[in-house]
Structure 1
Amino acid sequence: MVLFQLASAPVLAGIFYLYIRDRYEKEPWRMVAAGTVYGWISAFLTYGAGTLLEGLLPHEETPFYTAFFSAALIEEGVKFLLMLGLILPNRQFNEPFDGIVYAVFLSLGFAWVENLVYVVHPVMGGYGTALSRAVLSVPGHGLFGVQMGYYLGRRKFGGGRWQRWAAFMVPFALHGAYDYFLLRPERFWDIPFWGLEVFLWILGLRRMRELLERSPFRPTG
């Protein structure tokens, strides 16, 4: 039970933080829940797609292949497709910042399932795993979601068609680089990893602030 709580705590903290940041026109709780459930579904679909890919294309798990194909391509691809299914028929998607809200809820739903699998695992899991994933993996998924939601929010409210493609390509590239730096055994790769970590936080917070300022519900005067 304690490990379950430790695996869930950073995800719930991220959901609560983003709900607070959505200050001008908050999403209904049912849509918050829907985004999270879509994230759960994406985790199971990712597992199935990864298993299918391994069967169809036998390969050697190098750091590059694992980071960009086994992880980033499948995970971000599945999340992107489910994100489109979540937002396209959604009338509550009525301001640019909502793109970030839904993408992060979906990403954190994915991270919730993934975190539970790792943290409660009898061999890989434990308190150390819970701590490291709370600091790195869960925020990482949330920050990739910020990028996906940013471009989808811009696309819906007057942006060019290229932004829909950027909504997949940017998180894919960032996710792949993030995992690649982590998987490299040489200590040298710690430097670009932590540089990317700082960059993701700075960029993510700027993206959120920018779309909040674009809200049509923002008070003026």
Structure 2
Amino acid sequence: MKQFIDLFMLAITPGIALSIFIYYLDKHDKEPKTLLLKLFFYGMLISIPVILFEKVLMSFNVFTKVLSELYKALIVAGFTEEFFKRFVVLSLAYKNKNFNEKFDGIVYAVITALGFATLENILYVVFGYQSYRVGFSRAVISVPGHMLFAITMGYYLSLAKFCTVKRKCQYYFVLSLVVPIIFHGLFDFIIYVQAYVILPIFIIFLIFLYFFNIKKLHTFYCEKKEVE
């Protein structure tokens, strides 16, 4: 029982901690807690259809070796997970009256993604591998990864919502799905291949992903402070 509790706490702590971080980063005109809790909960809930949909897509994997891993990373994991997370944001927050500044899009996308990552973590760490090592590795790699993909998604959703040129709005709207899928797919592909020779590439990619997305977060955060 003690191991179960320890693993459960290890699984849920990263997602909750990062959610609290992004909530308090939004210092003024905070988003309603009820909306954020709903996004987190539905982010968890979509894990179920995601698992089912991924199983269906896996049945169409006719590739071998590297192409098979690329298909799993880009289509099975990347497309499916980012599509469903984005669906939650679009359904619950995109047209919500509280979505009244660009920084909000990042908050909504990140909270949703961390809800998803939390349940995914529970399934992997507590009921799957039952491993502290897996729990710690996912805490520092997988869960922050979901957050970084979500920053990109929220960034482009905000640009789409607040831009004034229709064609640009459509362009940003498409990018809000395509870019996270690409980042997620590359992220998972590098992990799936499990070749030590590409470890430096993975580290470089993580650094790029971090600065690419933190820059977006910083841009909207500074813009928010100027308005205030």
User: Scaled by the length of structure 1, what TM-score is found?
Assistant: 0.92
Which residue does 2:11 correspond to in 1? 7
Which residue does 1:211 correspond to in 2? 220
Task: Map Cα deviations across residues 117-167 of structure 1 (whole Å, 9 max, x no partner).
Answer: 111135x22110110000100000011000000000111111622000000
Q: Equivalent of 2:123, from 90, 112, 117?
A: 117
Alpha-carbon distance in 2 for matches of 1:52, 1:126: 27
Comparing 5-14 with 192-201, which one deviates more in the overlay? Answer: 192-201
* TM-fit CA distance, 1:81: 1.9
Q: Does the residue aligned with 2:224 lie in a helix, a strand or coil? A: coil
Which structure has greater helix proportion?
A: 2
Moved over 6 A (4+): none
Alpha-carbon distance in 2 for matches of 1:33, 1:59: 40
Alpha-carbon distance in 2 for matches of 1:149, 1:60: 33
Aligned ranges 1:1-221 → 2 under 5 Å: 1-55=5-59, 57=60, 59-60=62-63, 62-121=68-127, 124-158=129-163, 160=168, 161-215=170-224, 218-219=227-228
Q: How many residues in Structure 1 have an aligned counterpart in Structure 2?
A: 217
Identical positions, percent: 32
Task: Map Cα deviations across residues 171-207 of structure 1 (whole Å, 9 max, x no partner).
Answer: 0000000011111132121111111111121122211
Equivalent residues of 2:7, 2:125 under 8 A apart: yes
Q: Does the residue aligned with 1:20 lie in a helix, a strand or coil? A: helix
Equivalent residues of 1:99, 1:152 under 8 A apart: yes
Q: Does the residue aligned with 1:88 lie in a helix, a strand or coil? A: coil
Alpha-carbon distance in 2 for matches of 1:42, 1:94: 26
Unpaired runs of 5+ in structure 2? none
Q: Does the residue aligned with 1:26 lie in a helix, a strand or coil? A: coil
Comparing 150-159 with 124-133, which one deviates more in the overlay? Answer: 150-159
Alpha-carbon distance in 1 for matches of 2:142, 2:194: 18
Alpha-carbon distance in 2 for matches of 1:32, 1:73: 24
Equivalent residues of 1:182, 1:189 under 8 A apart: no
Q: Does the residue aligned with 1:162 lie in a helix, a strand or coil? A: helix
In structure 1, what residue type is equivalent to 2:204? G
Over aligned residue pairs, what C-alpha RMSD do you find? 1.7
Task: Map Cα deviations across residues 2-21 of structure 1 (whole Å, 9 max, x no partner).
Answer: 11101011111100110111
Unpaired runs of 5+ in structure 1? none
Alpha-carbon distance in 2 for matches of 1:206, 1:217: 16
Equivalent residues of 1:95, 1:216 under 8 A apart: no
